[in-house]
Structure 1
Amino acid sequence: MTNHLMNLRHVPDDEADEIRELFETHNVSYYETPPSRWGISMGGFWVHDNEEAQRARALLQAYQQERLRRQRDAYEEDLAAGRVGGFWHRLRRRPVTTLAACLAIAVILALTVAPFVTL
Structure 2
Amino acid sequence: MAELLFRLRHVTDEEAEEVRDLFAAEGLDTYETQAGFFRLGVDAIWLRNPDQHDAAIAALNAYQAERLERAQREHAAAVERGDQMTLWKHLAAHPLQVVLVLLAVGLVAALTLLPFLGLARA
Provide the aligned C-alpha RMSD in A.
Answer: 2.1
Rounded Cα–Cα distance in structure 2 between residues aligned with 1:79 and 1:37: 40
CA apart distance, 1:75 = 0.9
Question: In the superposition, relative to structure 1, how do residues 84 and 36 fare at CA in structure 2: closer, same or farther (>3 Å)?
Answer: farther
- 1:110 aligns with 110
Aligned to 1:53: 53
CA contact (8 A) 1:5 1:44 kept: yes
Given the two structures, how large is their TM-score scaled by the length of structure 1? 0.84
Whether the aligned pair in 2 keeps the contact of 1:5 and 1:45 (CA below 8 Å) is: yes
Moved more, 83-92 or 95-104: 83-92
Per the alignment, residue 70 of structure 1 pairs with 70
For 1:8 and 1:66, locate their aligned partners in 2 and report how far apart those are by CA, in whole Å: 18
Look up the match of 1:31.
Answer: 31
* Displacement of 1:111: 1.8
Instruction: Check 1:30–1:72 CA distance in 2 against 1; reply closer, same or farther (3 A cut).
Output: same
Q: What's the CA shift string for 1:6-34, capped at 9, x where partnerless?
A: 22222122111110111112221101122
Distance 1:104 1:11, change over 3 A: same
Question: How many percent identity over aligned positions?
Answer: 33
Q: Runs in 1 of length 4+ with deviation above 3 angstroms? A: 35-42
Q: Distance in 2 between matches of 1:65 and 1:37?
A: 33
Max Rg structure:
2
SS at match of 2:58: helix
Give the AA of the match of 1:44.
A
Deviation at 1:85, TM superposition (A): 3.8
Aligned length: 119
Structure 1 position 90 matched with structure 2 position 90: yes
Normalising by structure 2, we get a TM-score of 0.82
- CA shift digits 1:54-102 (9 cap, x unpaired): 1111111111111111111111111122222432332233222211111
Q: Secondary structure at the match of 1:11?
A: coil
Which residue of 1 is the match for residue 9 of structure 2? 9
What SS does structure 1 have at the residue aligned with 2:27?
Answer: coil
